[in-house]
């Protein structure tokens, strides 16, 4: 592969094969006066991210640019190593479809098996499926799964800090099924234990939470999970896919089902989609899990092979026994996530999460020094926060976009229950890609817009 260097022994054997003793002999046909007699004047080595940023800056001179991205709300501008595109664009992999014929698709099945393994390690959960569509429907599929586990169908409780679009998907799925959806009101951007206890009873099927929540704030998931379990309900957590690099992994909170939007793990923004649904659970519930699971076994000759197993959906078994009508998984994006996680590793994930958090803290400190700017919620946050300004957020963001800085979304576009005064509020998200200069540039631009 292009990313593996030749060893000295391999170079020696290649030189022997063509009948020369050194690489210099390859260039004897080039006149000596045309050959460079010194080392190349190259700068000091830099990271791939720094090199990409420098090249983008150089290529952007005199041309157009997509602007600097501080956008959040569920999809984020994280760095993607070049090897992800290189591997996933190979003809053997380049399909978004899941194969039915396992005997003809061992490479793809192995990639999904590796995906499941890596996601289980990332989340600290027992088992992962081979992915779902995206984070929003994964939340609803988790509720359906909870109903299959405990047999309760009357009531589902969800945090008021859950992503409003996830809530809308829940309402779409369950509004005609006779299931009551109960929202837990929040105080200062987070759910309190008292509010959760008041909403949960012995009829509750599941409690749906988010960490960090839609506003970027850190929730007390351990306490909320204990409240859910005390009532016999399952705890469902929608988590930020990068956050386990710094925060607790979902499995460490004791939740039963953990889902996420997997876009930050190797998938570019690409106009908002397609996306990737991560879905994990505890081992005792694996037979209630929707979608496909890939298993490893041996064939009749004793060779290791991979198979589609536990695919309990309506195309394979009787419809009334199916766990879900999810028709396929996001094969190509799951592959991208597999290559991404295998490339960056645990240390890379920790660095991504730490840098995102540190830069978010710096941005919040700089931006709130501007007259007329404050944090909407005084809570600990991970890499995203709600900023409140003295002018309507929609107009502020339009003015920033005109300056080549993309921020948001503004919160007045969402139907946020139990929250008032959001017309002047918007999200600001930081990733490891943002530089101090870019953050300071945002502050200068925002100050000019508000003056």
Tell me what pLDDT residue 175 has. Answer: 84
Tell me what pLDDT residue 23 has. Answer: 86
Local confidence band at 228 (pLDDT 50, 70, 90 cut-offs): very high
Tell me what pLDDT residue 90 has. Answer: 82
Local confidence band at 14 (pLDDT 50, 70, 90 cut-offs): very high
Tell me what pLDDT residue 1 has. Answer: 47
pTM, two decimal places: 0.88
CA 427 – CA 189 distance, rounded (Å) = 13
Instruction: Set out the domains of the chain in order of their start, with CATH numbers.
Output: 64-81+345-450 (3.90.1150.10), 83-341 (3.40.640.10)
* Residue 306: strand, helix, or coil: strand
- The rounded percent of the chain whose pLDDT value lies above 90 is 68
In sequence order, which ranges of 368-433 are alpha helices (DSSP H)? 393-402
Tell me what pLDDT residue 316 has. Answer: 57
Higher pLDDT, 312 or 255: 255
Higher pLDDT, 379 or 39: 379
> For residue 379, how many C-alpha atoms fall within 13 Å in the half-sphere facing its CB?
26
Higher pLDDT, 47 or 220: 220
Tens of pLDDT along 85-125? 999 888 777 655 555 555 557 888 888 899 999 999 999 99
The CA distances from residue 24 to 31, 82, 148, 330, in Å, are: 12, 31, 70, 49
Tell me what pLDDT residue 9 has. Answer: 92
Q: What is the mean pLDDT of the chain?
A: 90
CA 271 – CA 409 distance, rounded (Å) = 14
Average pLDDT over residues 364-373: 97
Tens of pLDDT along 144-202? 999 999 999 999 999 999 999 999 999 999 988 989 999 999 999 999 999 999 999 99
Tens of pLDDT along 400-444? 999 999 999 999 888 776 666 789 999 999 999 999 999 999 999
CA 312 – CA 293 distance, rounded (Å) = 9
DSSP E strands, 195-285? 204-211, 234-240, 257-261, 277-281
**At what angle are helices 393-402 and 436-450 packed, to 10 degrees?**
120
């Amino acid at each position: 592969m292009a990313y593996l260097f030749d060893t000295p022994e391999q170079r020696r054997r290649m030189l022997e094969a063509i009948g020369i003793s050194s690489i210099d002999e390859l260039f004897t046909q080039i006149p000596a006066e045309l050959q460079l007699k010194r080392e190349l004047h190259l700068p000091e080595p830099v990271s791939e991210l720094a090199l990409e940023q420098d090249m983008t800056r150089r290529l952007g001179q005199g041309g157009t640019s997509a602007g600097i991205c501080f956008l959040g709300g569920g999809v984020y501008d994280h760095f993607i190593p070049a090897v992800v595109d290189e591997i996933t664009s190979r003809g053997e992999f380049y399909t978004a479809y899941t194969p039915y014929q396992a005997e003809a698709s061992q490479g793809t099945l192995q990639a999904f098996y590796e995906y499941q393994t890596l996601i289980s390690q990332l989340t600290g959960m027992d088992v992962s499926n081979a992915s779902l569509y995206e984070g929003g429907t994964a939340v609803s599929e988790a509720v359906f799964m909870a109903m299959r586990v405990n047999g309760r169908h009357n009531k589902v409780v969800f945090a008021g800090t859950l992503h409003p679009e996830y809530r809308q998907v829940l309402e779409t799925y369950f509004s005609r099924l006779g299931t009551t959806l109960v929202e837990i009101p929040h105080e200062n951007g987070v759910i309190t234990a008292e509010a959760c206890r008041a909403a949960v009873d012995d009829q509750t099927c599941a409690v749906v939470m988010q960490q960090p929540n839609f506003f970027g704030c850190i929730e007390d998931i351990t306490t909320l999970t204990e409240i859910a379990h005390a009532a016999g309900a399952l705890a469902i957590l929608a988590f930020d896919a990068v956050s386990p690099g710094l925060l607790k992994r979902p499995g460490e909170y004791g939740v039963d089902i953990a889902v996420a939007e997997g876009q930050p793990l190797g998938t570019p923004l690409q106009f908002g989609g397609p996306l990737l649904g991560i879905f994990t659970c505890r081992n005792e519930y694996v037979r209630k899990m929707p979608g496909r699971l890939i298993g490893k076994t041996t064939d009749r000759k004793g060779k290791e092979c991979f198979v589609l197993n536990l695919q309990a959906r309506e195309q394979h078994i009787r419809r009334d026994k199916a766990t879900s009508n999810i028709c396929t998984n996001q094969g190509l994006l799951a592959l991208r996530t597999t290559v991404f996680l295998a490339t960056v590793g645990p240390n890379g994930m920790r660095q991504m999460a730490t840098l995102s958090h540190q830069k978010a803290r710096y941005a919040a400190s700089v931006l709130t020094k501007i007259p007329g700017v404050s944090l909407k919620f005084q809570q600990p946050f991970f890499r995203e926060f709600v900023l409140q300004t003295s002018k309507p957020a929609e107009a502020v963001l339009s003015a920033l976009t005109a300056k080549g800085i993309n921020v948001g979304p503004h919160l007045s576009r969402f139907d946020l229950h139990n929250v008032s005064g959001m017309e002047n509020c918007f999200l600001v998200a930081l990733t490891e890609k943002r530089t101090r200069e870019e953050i300071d540039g945002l502050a200068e631009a925002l100050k000019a817009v508000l003056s």
